[in-house]
Structure 1
Amino acid sequence: MELSSLRLFTAVAEQGGVTRAAQALHCVQSNVSARLRQLEDELGTALFHRDRRQMIMTPAGRELLGYARRLTALADEAREAVRGAAPSGQLRLGSMETTAAIRLPLPLADYHRRYPAVHLSLETGPTRTLIDQVCDYRLDAAFIAGPVSDPQLDGCRLWREELVLVTEAGHAPVGQAADLPAPTLLAFRAGCAYRERLEHWCRTEGVFPASILEFGSFQAILGCAAAGMGIALLPKTVVDAQRDMHLPLALHRLPSAVADAETWLVWRRDRAPRALLALVELLGFSPSADQHAARDAAAPC
């Protein structure tokens, strides 16, 4: 199998079809189809179920995808190591929505000025999804709510956050979950660590939400909290940064078991490209590749 064929197969799998894969790879659609057929012939098995509307990976295709991501990532890393030059290539980052908005603009802008040859991409999502994407080689690293004890991952603790309960301005003081009879929770989609923490706090104190409304941005969560639709658990830094919106909000301090949170940058132990190491150093750490492999994933740097 050629690496170029594996890259093409990965593109089809991730883009959901030949047409979008061809656009992403900047090549002709018929070329992608022909190369994919050649790969299937070489392997002696179908990698996709095809119909007029979509392509669905077969079990063999799903099995190959993990290997394809690992092999192409390793090839990219080897190329960077041999060149020995300044970091270049692609660096795919993931982040929690709140971290991307408040913590990352300045360091990522600094990184881009220092390493213009690195093609930097950032996508947001809940912690659980981001961890899965790093483990599956779809992201090189992610800013998540930690710590994480997954043996596949290594990481650095970056920031401590105080989480606060956010309600409309006229809400009565909240010191315990019992002050919130059958609340409506305003949160990001399932897999968000802050949502899970709020649900766990309510559940352990015998309070059960009437409903959970899911949102794609913290601005929408804050707006709905101000309108009295429900309550949310967010980093205080996020709420403070939105003061110029003049939303009628109340912030409630919570017990440290609920309020104390950490933000980590995590990556695979077997995948530490030069572009990622440069970012880690810019954020205030200087781990070597050998130290990455030896450090316990749940220990702070």
Structure 2
Amino acid sequence: MDHSTLEIFCAVAEELSITRAAQRLGRVQSNVTTRVQQLEEELGVTLFVRENKRMQLSPQGEKFLGYAKGMLALAEEARQILRPGQPEGLLRIGAMESTVASRLPEPLARYHQMWPRVQLRLSTAPSRQLVDALKDRTLDCAFAALPLSTGETPQDLAELGLTGLRVYTEQLVLVLPPDHPPVRAASELRIHSLAAFKQGCTYRSIAEDWLRSQPSDAVIDVQEVGSYHAMLACVASGSCISFIPRSVIELARETTRFRQKPIGNADTWMIWRNGYETPALNAFREALALAHD
């Protein structure tokens, strides 16, 4: 079980296709197939199954994927730490969608211009999942809103093996259709459907806490969506309310179409694992600081 075999397995697991994995890796399909079969023989398990002509990870494959990614991450981390110098290699950054859209374009562009030998890999997820990915070593750093939806505060980071730095403060805004009357409390809401991300999103947790804290007999139904554009579309249709960072609203066009009510602030933290200090990560923190100046 060598480094290249683990890379091949992870590529096939992510693409769920030998053909696409081979194209991504620049290898011939027969080589990819052979390496996967050899890995299965070495482990003594079936890693992939075919159902209705579609490739899927087996339960054993699902378990092994986390270990494989962790081993690859440790190898990359060791390589960077043992070869200090100019930033290079892979830097995996996770962030909330709002942060990617409104906060990171400038520091990412500055960083790429300064350190072109670093391969940036950016992914989005709710805050809870981002912290889990850091602990699993599938991310090198993440931008998450704290406290988490499960209650962890910045003071709890050390117990999770993490450390962080507060980088942004977001104003969270209740967004209503333009014809909705002004509201001071949840009891004045005429719409009882909330457009939000899936569980694990700190902003959703803050929104639900605000709705529960207000005197109201109404039951709020949650409509889970995958983007802020979808949230605004749901609000514009008159079917939902939503809670969105003001920085995101300011990026959207025709924001005057919506009635808005600020409900509070949420801090965004840049988080990484304790002891994880590589030239690539340190340079990114510096680029982030320059973007604040």
* TM superposition score category, shorter chain reference: 0.7 to 0.9
Partner residue, 1:279:
284
C-alpha change, 1:275 and 1:207, in structure 2 (3 Å) is: farther
Report Cα offsets for 1:191-218 as digits up to 9, x if no partner. Answer: 3221222123223435544533333332
Partner residue, 2:212:
203
User: Pairwise CA RMSD of aligned residues?
Assistant: 2.5
Partner residue, 2:179:
170
Contact 1:95 1:125 in 2 (8 A): yes
CA shift at 1:158, angstroms?
0.8
CA shift at 1:93, angstroms?
1.6
Identical residues among aligned pairs (%): 43
Q: Distance in 2 between matches of 1:165 and 1:153?
A: 32
Partner residue, 1:224:
234
Which SS does the other structure have where 2:54 is aligned? coil
Structure 1, unaligned stretches of length 5 or more?
286-301
CA shift at 1:11, angstroms?
2.0
Structure 2, unaligned stretches of length 5 or more?
none
Report Cα offsets for 1:94-142 as digits up to 9, x if no partner. Answer: 2211111111111111111111111112222222232333333332222
Q: Which runs of 4+ in 1 moved over 6 A?
A: none
Higher mean Cα deviation, 162-171 or 27-36? Answer: 162-171
Q: Which amino acid aligns with 1:160?
A: T
TM-score (ref. length: structure 1): 0.82
**2:50 counterpart of 1:40:** no
CA shift at 1:26, angstroms?
1.6
Which SS does the other structure have where 1:92 is aligned? strand
C-alpha change, 1:203 and 1:182, in structure 2 (3 Å) is: farther
Partner residue, 1:236:
246
Q: Distance in 1 between matches of 2:117 and 2:166?
A: 27
C-alpha change, 1:230 and 1:40, in structure 2 (3 Å) is: closer
Which SS does the other structure have where 1:174 is aligned? coil
Q: Which structure 2 residues correspond to residues 126-141 of structure 1 after superposition, within 5 A?
A: 126-141=126-141
Which SS does the other structure have where 2:268 is aligned? strand
Higher mean Cα deviation, 108-117 or 270-279? Answer: 270-279
Q: Distance in 2 between matches of 1:238 and 1:2?
A: 44
Q: Distance in 1 between matches of 2:91 and 2:127?
A: 19
Higher mean Cα deviation, 209-218 or 166-175? Answer: 209-218
Partner residue, 2:27:
27
Partner residue, 1:88:
88
CA shift at 1:275, angstroms?
1.5
Q: Distance in 2 between matches of 1:32 and 1:208?
A: 56
CA shift at 1:190, angstroms?
3.2
TM-score (ref. length: structure 2): 0.84
Q: Distance in 2 between matches of 1:203 and 1:130?
A: 26
